Structure 1
C-alpha cells in the first residue's frame, strides 16, 4: 500500500494485518555532488516502489524522509526518531528504513527502525532489460531482509 487516499482507506480497514512500513531515506543537495545524490534517491525510490508492489497489502510505503545532505546527522536522526515514535503510536510494529547514504550506518544503533543500507547502483546507462534484472536482484535481497525482520520479532 502507498501513501494515497485510496490505499490509506484500505489500510484503515485492514490495519490489524498491516504492521510494517517502509520509509525511504532520501538526501537532497543542490550544491554538492548533485548527480550522485539524485542517483541515491532515485535508486532507493525504485527499490521501495518495487518492494511495495511485491508486498502490497502487507506493508505501507511512506513518502520519502527527505533531508539536506549538509544537515547535522544528529538533527536528521532526531527527526527520524520523532517519525518512529508517531508510527509506533499508530500501531506499526516494524519500520524498515531504506537508504543509499552510508552516513545512516553510523547512527543505526540510535534508531528503532531496521535500517537497510544499499549502495546505489547507477542505472542511468543500463539497458532496460539489465536494469530490471539488477533491480529485481536487489529487491529479492530486500525481501529477505524484511522477512528476517518479521521472523526476528516472532522469535523474540
Structure 2
C-alpha cells in the first residue's frame, strides 16, 4: 500500500493484517553531487514501488525520509528512530529502511529498524527491458531480506 488516501483508507480498515512499513531514505543536496544523489533517490523510489506491488496487502510504503546529504550521522539517526518509534507505537511490527546511501550502512546498529541497502544503478540511460531486469533482481534480493526479517533471522 502506498501513502495515498485510497490506500490509507484500506489500511485503516485492514490494519491488523498490515504489519510492515518501508521507509525510503532519500538524501538531497544542491552541490556538485546533485545529479548522483537524485539518481539514487529515483532508484530507491522506483524500487519501493516494485516492492509494494509484491507485498500489497501486507506492506505500507511511507513517504521518503528526506535529509540533507551532508547532515551529520548524529543528527540523522535520532530523527529516523523517532519515525520508527511512532510506527511501533501504532502497531507496525516490522520496519524496514530502504536506501542506496552508503553512509547508513555504518549506522545500522544504531537504528530502531532494519536497514535494507540496495546499490543504486543509474537507470536514465538504460534500455527499458534492462531497467526492468535490474529492478526484478533487486526486488528478489530485498524480498528475501524482508522475509528473513519477518522470521527473525539476522540479515
Report TM bin, short chain: over 0.9
1:54, distance to aligned residue in structure 2 (A): 1.4
Tell me how far 1:32 sits from its aligned partner: 3.3
Residue in 1 that maps onto 2:30: 30
Find the aligned partners of 2:84 and 2:19 in 1 and give their Cα distance: 13
Between 117-126 and 39-48, the greater mean CA deviation after superposition = 117-126
CA distance in 1, matches of 2:49, 2:32: 26
Per the normalisation by structure 1, the TM-score is 0.95
Alpha-carbon displacement from aligned partner over 1:21-60 (angstroms, at most 9, x marks no partner): 0000000001131111001101111110110011111100
Question: Which ranges of 4 or more aligned residues in structure 1 deviate by more than 6 Å?
Answer: none
How many residue pairs end up in the alignment? Answer: 153
User: By how many angstroms is 1:5 displaced?
Assistant: 1.0
Counterparts of 2:3 and 2:130, CA distance in 1? 29
**Aligned match of 2:66:** 66
Measure the CA separation in 1 of the matches of 2:136 and 2:12.
Answer: 30
Cα shift readout 1:42-97 (whole Å, capped 9, x = no counterpart): 11111101100111111000000000001111111110011011000000010011
Identify the residue that residue 116 of structure 1 maps to in structure 2: 116
SS state at 1:116 partner: strand
User: Which residue is 1:102 aligned to?
Assistant: 102
Structure 1 partner of 2:77: 77
For structure 1, which runs of at least 5 residues remain unmatched after alignment?
Answer: none
Matches within 5 A, 1:116-135: 116-135=116-135
Distance 1:51 1:75 in 2: 28
Secondary structure class of the residue paired with 2:135: helix
- Counterpart in the other structure of 1:43: 43
Provide the C-alpha distance between the structure 2 equivalents of 1:85 and 1:116, rounded to a whole number of angstroms: 18
Root-mean-square deviation (CA, aligned residues, Å) is 0.9
